[in-house]
Structure formats: C-alpha cells, structure tokens
Amino acid sequence: MELVTAPLPGAAPARHALVDAAGLRAVCAAAHVADGQLQTLWASDERDRVGGFCLWVALADAQGLLLLQLPLPAEQPRYPDLTDIFPAAARLQRAAYDLTGVRAEKSDPRPWLRHGAWPTQTFPLRRDTHGPAPTDEEESYPFVRVTGDGVHEIAVGPVHAGIIEPGHFRFSVVGEKVLRLEERLGYVHKGIEKRFESLPALQGQRLAARVSGDSAVAFSWAYCMALEALCDATPPARALWLRALSLERERLANHLGDLGALGNDAGFGVGLAQFSRLKEDLLRANARALGARYLLDAVVPGGVAFDLEDAARRLLLETLPPLETEVGTLRDIYADHAGLQDRFLGAGRITPALAAQLGLTGLAGRASGQPHDLRCDHPAAPYDQLQVHRITHSDGDVAARVAVRFGETLESLRLCRVILENLPPGAVHAPLPPAAHGRPGLGWVEGWRGPVLVALETTDGGGIRRCHPHDPSWQNWPALEHAVIGNIVPDFPLINKSFNLSYSGHDL
Amino acid sequence: MNITGVTAQCTEIAMSVAAAPLLLGWVNQCRAWLQNRRGPGLLQPYRQLRKLFHKDAVLAANASPLFRLVPYVEFASMGLAAAIIPSLWTGLPFGAAADTIALVGLFATARLFLALAAMDIGTAFGSLGARREMLVGFLAEPALLMVFFTTSLIANSTSLPTIADSFARHPLALYPSLAFAGVAFLMVLLAENARIPVDNPATHLELTMIHEAMVLEYSARHLALIEWSAALKLFNYACIGLALFLPWGLAQGPADPGGLLIALPATAFKLLLVGAGLALIETLNAKMRLFRAPEFLATAFLLAVLGLLVHLLLGS
C-alpha cells in the first residue's frame, strides 16, 4: 500500500498522512517491522469543523516522526485497537476514550484517567463540555486477580509513607516473590489539555513547563518548537544554544538527584548526602547565572527569556571541572561498593528483546539496548553541531540504568562546556509571525527521561485549539510492571526509582 | 535486699530509660557527621517523643484491645530487661531474678507481641513486617543464645551480672572464644535493632521496611512508647555487649552509691564509642537484599558456635 505523506515544517523532522482504519493498522504494522515505535496517540474533537472526531497517531521511525490522522464519525467514533502491534498504546487508548469518547474496538473497557471524577458519558475534551460535572459515583475498578496456593495481594498507595506523587500498585505475591504487578495511575489528572484550550498560544509554554516539573525545559522547548513550526520561524542561534544549555542542566540536576536517591534506596546514605550537595551546587549556580534554580520559564516562543552575561558564562564554566571530578569519584565509590552492587546488579531486568517489544524509550530504553536518543538520531539545532555521544547499556537492570545515568551526566557536563565555550553572539529572542492554523505543529525534544512530544494546533484568533503533551513515562510505566516480575517485594522501590517515571506528566 | 540496693536498682532503670533516646540521638548525629551532614542534634529523639506524646492517638476502627496494650508491653519488657542487665552495678538485687536465657525469652516475648499487634489491624504492611521480623528473629535468637552459652561456660554461670563480674575481675585474661562470640553478638545486635545492613531505620519506603512496617498503624503516645522501647532495646543490647566483652569500670560487689563515681563515666564513655562504631558500620554499608539476611544471621550463628567449640575443645 502506498502511503502519501506530506512533510510538516519545523525543527522536528515530521511527515503527515491521512489514513483510513485499515490503513492505520497497516502503516503501524509496517512501522513496527521496521523497528519504529509508537510515540503517542491522542484524539481531537473536530465536529465543529468537519463533523466528526480525529485520531492522531505519532510514530517514530528512521526518518523522524510520522503523524497519522484518522478521521472518525461523530456518532460511535471507533477505531481499530493497536495494542497487539504496540503494547504501549493500551493506556493511551483508554485515556483517549476517557477524555474524548473515541474508543478502540475490543479494547480494555476500564477507565484510566477518569477515576469516577466525572460522569461516564461526559468527555472533558469535547468542545461542548465546559467544566466536568463533579460526581461522587463510586467506581469499581477490577484488578487482574492471580490465584493459586499462597498467592496474596499487597495494595500500595496511592498515599505513600514518603512524600512522593500518588500511584497505586497492586502486587500479587507468593511470600516475597512478585508474580504480577498492576499499576493504577491517573490520580493527579488536572485537566491540563483542557486548560491549554483557554490559553493564548504565546503563553502556552508556561503551562507546558508545568506538565512535569522535572522536565520543565524539555516540555516548554517542545511546545515552543511546535508553535515555531506553525509560525514557520526559527529562533536566533544564541537562543537555541541557550535552550540546549538549559536542557542539559535540567538533565544534570535530575541525574544527580536520582543517583543519590538510588544510593539512598539501597540504604547507602552517603550517596544521597554527596549527590544532594552536588545537585544543590548546580541549582545555586543556575540561580546565579541563569536567574532561576529550576528553569521553569526559561524557554519562551521565539527564543529564551534570559541572556547569559560573560561573567555568568565564566562562572558556569568554572563550576564544571570540579563537578566532573566529584561525579567521577562517586562513580568509583558506587562501582567498588560490594553491598551496593549486590542490590543493583540483576534487579529489575528488562532484556533488550522485551524492551523492543514494549517500546521502552528514553533513558530506561538506552539501558536495555534501545539506542534511541533524539540528540543523536534527529539532532535539531544546536545538537547538530554538538556531536552527542550516545550512552547505552545492554544489561537492562538497575545497575545498567545507574551506569547510563553516570555516563549521561559526564556527557552533559561535556556538552555544557562545549556550549558555554562556543556560544554564538546575537539576540536571544525574535518576535514570532502569526501562527498558521488548520494544521498541527510538532515539537520533539530529548528530555532527561526520554523523548518529549508536544502536538499543537492553534485557532485563527491566536488561541490554542488542541495541545497534546506527551511524556515518555507513558511508554515506560507498563514496562515497570514487567521489570519487577520475579523480583522480591522489598526490591521494588529501588527498581521503581531506577526508572523514576513521572506521575504528573502522565496523568495530565 | 536493702534500701541501698533498691535505690541503686531504681537508679539504673531510670538511667537506662532516660539515656536510651540519647544513645539513639548520638548514633544519628555520628551518622550525619560521617555523611558530611550537620544532623538534627543529640536531643532530636526527645523532641520526637515530646511531639508524639502531645498528639491525639488515632486507632483503626478494627483495632483490638491487644493493639492498644502492646506499646505498654513493649515498654515494660524493655524496662525489665534494663533492670536485669548490669549497665552500672553488677550486684543489683534484680540481677539474680533472671538469667541470660530468660533475657532472650523476654526479648522474644516483646517481639511476639509486636508481631501480633502488627497483624491485628489486617493491613498488608503489618503482616509483611511481622513476617519479616519473625524471619530475622528466629535466626537471631539461636545466635544470641550461643553467644550467651559461650560466655556462660567461661564464667560458669548463666546470670549476666555474674558473667560480667567474673570477666571484670580478670581484666588481662584473653579468651579467643570471646572474639568469635563478640563478632556474632555485633551481628545479632544489628539485626535485632533494625539497623543497616539488615533494616533501614531511616527509610520511608514501606515495601522495604521490617520493623517500621509493623508499627505503621501506631500514632501519638502509642508510637512514642514503641519508639522509646526501640531506643531502649538498642541501649540494652549495647549494655549487654559491654557487660560481656568490655565489663571494666562496672561497680562490683554489693550495690552502693560510691560505685557510680567510676561506673557512670566509664559506661557513658563506652556507649559513646559503641554509638560511633555503630554509625560507622551503618555509613559504610548498604542495606542487604532481604534474602541475604538469613545468610548474615547464619554467619552470626556459625561464629557463635565456633566460639563455643573453641572454648570446649581448647579450653580458652
């Protein structure tokens, strides 16, 4: 079958194609055979425009993004189930139904994001729904039961003993051995996609940055990339380099925090103390040189909201070598600590074959032999000039995810140095021309957790018609269920931390 | 039993109960220093207790009377143990009331009640913690008994004060068997008191907990008593270790107030060292995988048996 694709403008390499139901499955199956992955899936209400709904499926292949658009009727919008091709589609399809009422045929009928918070036949993302009608309807959510001699369930969360985000984990165990884990998420559904629709396009990056606070730069950059694609504009070179600097520093802050937390979860408090100190130094340097500890509002449409004075640039450069030395020392301490390695090695393993089947992505994917890194595969400016080294590992266990974090931390430090030494002069912001409407714009950025995608469509009045932010956690949460099978219950927190997935970015 | 003896006995119990949180605070403080942190201060456990005693208790709707009773049972057991263990005087009136085997039984009773209370509410975590606690306990107890047997054979008595008295009188005698027993005892101490590498007292990860998982349902004064008993348990274990392996400086003979002059600073100094050593062990080690705990405790048992054999075969 010949697929007619049209290139989409913008920094992200993307093509667009209209498909029918059979074509959707055929293209997905062909992409799967060619090692493509499902990037995201969402639905939109187009009844005001074309009298129906649309399903959008974004696939990542060797050439970049392939955006498939499937028009659906206004009555009984149904499309073929994709979970047999891409297992990661399952929860995206359930979420799409909860929000728009567009359902995959013969799919899991349980709600995913709804949680009884609004009535069954109300779909918040439809254009005629204004504010979900609250309901106190008691919702039953049947978990998959495992039966057998000595099997029992441990229900954990959504409220945990520590201060972390809410998620429910249902373990079926025999003694301490985990037979099955079923996650239930969606507790922090905030209606972000609906909120986008009441914002002017030029301010959407502020909300995008808050989709998942630890990936603020990645989401706001992806949003701006999508908007700039619609405006057919490219920000000044200096702005792009400063965005890359912000993104790498966000990656550094998260990796440093995670490496410490991983040590702490294995009972090695020294690791937490040392890495917390390094992270704090990094954040303070951010505050002094870039004006904020976490770079929530650093990226704006058309450029960045800050400039780097020469003194601040030198200050940042000076902080890099000592940080690099200390990370190297701590890497040796982690590597030489028998007790720590005993906890890390072999725990929560996802083999490369399983990772490929599940579509494991980002950092966790790279630790399981999936060599995808947007900064290397489809480098958008300025990464095309930075030659990022890809860090991969094939063991797929906690130790591999720790090793990839160490490798990426050192690589990010190198990138920061190269960026700071070669920062081009010029403006940091250029005003954007009006955005085109009637077509989607895509932004695609490799955040610290994995590829972040933002799909954006604007209205002719400069507002947002539909915005879909996608966090890589969607792909990796289901993989966590596989990673813990056969492990023991007390190792779960360590395995979970080694993925460190987002709840907020997933629940939206 | 005379009035001096009773006073001395009461002083010792009061001292143990009052100083136990201080030892815990010292261990935490040392740990903070070793990790380049400033630490919350020596008095943090007391502040914690005061805070908890001022709160209103929340009980699960299906809590049985046993659940309310257990904190008091725990505290009473550990207080009673403190009365038996010679931490200042060896000639205390209560010392003759129970020997080392009874002491092990007392600890086992406390453990049993805590495990029952943990299962009482019926949450997954309580049962999980109780199950793990029993796993650790049934392996730690024999090792502890073996340690006591070795020392009892050397001192020809199973009474802890008598053993301590006997060792303190021969300060220069070297017993290789005691070296084995000492290491075994240290391992039992770490396991029984929920310290790293067996359990992590500072964790918030409910799925990894042993001791903490059992007491998740407790609040306010009940929790305060449980935490105080845990601190007292650590204090008691430290004092048992000191009585068996470093008894020098204890006031010997009939209890009299004059003995305190040497015994109090000596015990305080030794506990300082114990606390610092414990913090060092906890800083250098990571927490073991749960199923390494049996191996760890089997090693402790093996060492204790070796100590016993060394004594029986070599007479040393």
The mean pLDDT value for B284-297 works out to: 90
Decide: helix, strand or coil at residue A488.
strand
Is residue B198 very low, low, confident or very high in pLDDT (cuts 50, 70, 90)? confident
Instruction: Say if residue A219 is in the same domain as residue A325.
Output: yes
Residues A202 and A94 in one domain: no
- The encoded tokens of residue B150 equal 């070795």
Q: Which of A1, A490, A406 is nearest to B212 (CA)?
A: A490
- Which of A7-16, A450-459, B88-97, B229-238 bottoms out in mean pLDDT, i.e. has the lowest? B88-97
Task: Show Cβ contacts of residue B100 under 8 Å, excluding neighbours closer than 6 positions.
Answer: B148, B151, B152, B158, B159, B160, B163
Give the DSSP per-residue string, A92-112. Answer: HHHHHHHHH--EETT---S-S
Q: Using the structure block, give the residue that is written with the tokens 């429910």.
A: A168
Residue A154 lies in a domain: no
- Decide if B35 and A270 are in contact by the 8 Å CB cutoff: yes
Confidence at A245, pLDDT banded by 50, 70, 90 = very high
Q: Which of the four pLDDT bands, split at 50, 70 and 90, describes residue B273?
A: very high
pLDDT digit string, tens, across residues B13-27: 999 999 999 999 999
A486 touches chain B (CB under 8 A): no
Which A residues, 145 through 164, put their C-beta within 8 Å of a C-beta on chain B? 152-156, 160-163
Model confidence, pTM = 0.90
Work out the average pLDDT over A12-33: 91
pLDDT exceeds 70 at position B172: no
Residue B93, both tokens:
């009136």
List the one residue out of A422, A431, A435, A337 whose CA is nearest residue A386. Answer: A422
- Residue A304 pairs with which residues in a beta bridge? A299
% of chain B with per-residue pLDDT over 70: 97
Give the model's pLDDT for residue B255.
64
pLDDT tens per residue across span A174-204: 988 999 999 999 899 998 999 999 999 999 9
Residue B1 has pLDDT above 60, yes or no: no
Q: Assign residue A76 the CATH number of its domain.
A: 3.30.460.80
Q: C-alpha dihedral over B272, B233, B155, B305, to 10 degrees?
A: -100
Asked if B290 lies within 8 A of A340 by C-beta distance, the reply is no
Residues contacting residue A79 through CB under 8 Å, at least 6 positions apart: A21, A24, A55, A70, A72, A102, A103, A104, A105
Q: How many residues does chain A have?
A: 508
State chain A's mean pLDDT as an integer.
91
Q: SS3 of B251, please?
A: strand
Residue A368 pLDDT: 94
* One domain, residues A250 and A360: yes
Q: Are residues A353 and A223 in the same domain?
A: yes
Hey, which residues 294-353 in chain A have their CB within 8 Å of chain B? 337, 339-340, 342-343
The predicted pLDDT at position A1 comes to 57
Q: A176 vs B216: CB contact, 8 Å cut-off?
A: no
Structure confidence at residue B23 (pLDDT): 95
Count of all residues that appear for chain B in the document: 316
List the domain range (segments joined by +) for residue A85.
6-104
B286·A156 Cβ contact <8 A = no
Residue that has been written with the tokens 């073996």 in this structure: B146
Using a pLDDT cut of 90, give the percent of chain B over it: 53
Q: Could you tell me the two tokens for A245?
A: 């600097």
* Distance of alpha carbon A53 from alpha carbon A101, whole angstroms: 9
> Which of A57, A75, A104 is the last residue before a domain boundary?
A104
pLDDT at residue B86 is higher than 90: no
Q: What is the DSSP string of A42-53?
A: EEEE-TTTTSEE
A136 pLDDT band, cuts 50/70/90, is: low
CA distances B266 to A239, B233, B235, B248, Å, are 68, 20, 15, 8
Interface residue A142 vs chain B (CB under 8 A): no
- Quote the strand ranges of B5-132, DSSP E: 89-91
Model pLDDT, residue A138: 66
CA triple B141-B275-B134, angle to 5 deg? 25
The answer on A352 and A236 residing in a single domain is yes
**What are the pLDDT digits (tens) for A29-56?**
999 999 899 999 999 999 988 889 999 9
Interface size A-B, in CB pairs within 8 Å, comes to 83
pLDDT at A122: 85
Q: Where are the domains of chain B?
A: 3-314
A176/B290 touch (CB, cutoff 8 Å), yes or no: yes
Residue A185 in any domain: the answer is no
What are the pLDDT digits (tens) for B111-157? 999 999 999 988 888 888 999 999 999 999 999 999 999 999 988 88
- Looking at residue B161, what is its pLDDT? 86
* Shortest Cα–Cα distance, B80 to chain A (Å): 32
Q: How many CB atoms lie within 10 A of CB A465?
A: 22
DSSP states along A74-96: SSS-EE---TTT-TTHHHHHHHH
Radius of gyration of chain B (CA): 19
Structure-token match 């509410």, residue found: B121
User: Distance, in angstroms, between A90 CA and closest chain B CA?
Assistant: 28
pLDDT of residue B74 exceeding 80, the answer is yes
Please state, in angstroms and rounded to a whole number, the distance separating the CA atoms of residues A309 and A503. Answer: 36
Chain B residues lying within 8 Å of A343, measured CB to CB: 286-289
CA–CA gap between residue A218 and residue A56 (Å, rounded)? 22
Band (pLDDT 50/70/90 cuts) for residue B75 is very high
Confidence at residue A237, expressed as pLDDT on a 0 to 100 scale: 92
Q: Which amino acid is at A118?
A: W
Q: Is the dihedral of CA A124, A129, A134, A140 positive or negative?
A: negative
Region A17-36 average pLDDT: 91
Instruction: Choose, out of A276, A489, A495, the residue to mutate when testing the contact with B (most B CBs < 10 Å).
Output: A489
Lowest mean pLDDT among A31-35, A108-112, A447-451, B204-208: B204-208
Amino acid at A377: D
Q: Is the pLDDT of residue B2 over 80?
A: no
Residue for token digits 């007619």?
A: A4
Return the structure tokens found at A239: 């702005």
| Residue A127 backbone phi and psi in degrees, to 5 | -70, -20
Identify the CATH number of the domain in which residue A361 sits: 1.10.645.10
Interacting residues of B28 by C-beta distance below 8 A, sequence separation 6+:
B39, B40, B44, B45, B279
Which of the listed residues A80, A104, A128 is the one where a domain comes to its end? A104
Question: In percent, how much of chain A has pLDDT > 70?
Answer: 98
Task: With a cut of 80, say whether residue B306 has pLDDT above it.
Answer: yes
Q: What is the pLDDT of residue B235?
A: 95
Using CA coordinates, name the residue in chain B closest to A345.
B289
Interface confidence, given as ipTM, is: 0.85
The beta-carbon neighbor of B207 closest among A152, A267, A489 is A489
> B34 and A270 in contact by Cβ < 8 A?
yes
Residues of A in contact with B289 (CB under 8 A): 342-343, 488, 490-491
pLDDT tens column, B7-63: 888 888 999 999 999 999 999 999 999 988 888 999 999 999 999 999 999 998 899
Task: Mark out chain B residues that contact chain A at CB-CB < 8 A.
Answer: 31, 34-37, 124-125, 128, 196-197, 200, 202-208, 216, 282-283, 285-292
pLDDT tens per residue, range A415-473: 999 999 999 998 899 998 888 888 899 999 999 999 999 999 999 888 999 999 999 99
Tally of structural domains, chain A: 2
Contacts of A162 in chain B (CB under 8 A): 204-205
Average pLDDT for residues B164-192, to the nearest whole number?
86
* Residue recorded with tokens 């958008």: A380
Residues A93-112 have a mean pLDDT of: 90
pLDDT attached to residue A95 = 93
Last residue of a domain, one of A88, A104, A120: A104
Q: Please give the residue of chain B at the shortest CA–CA distance from A496.
A: B205
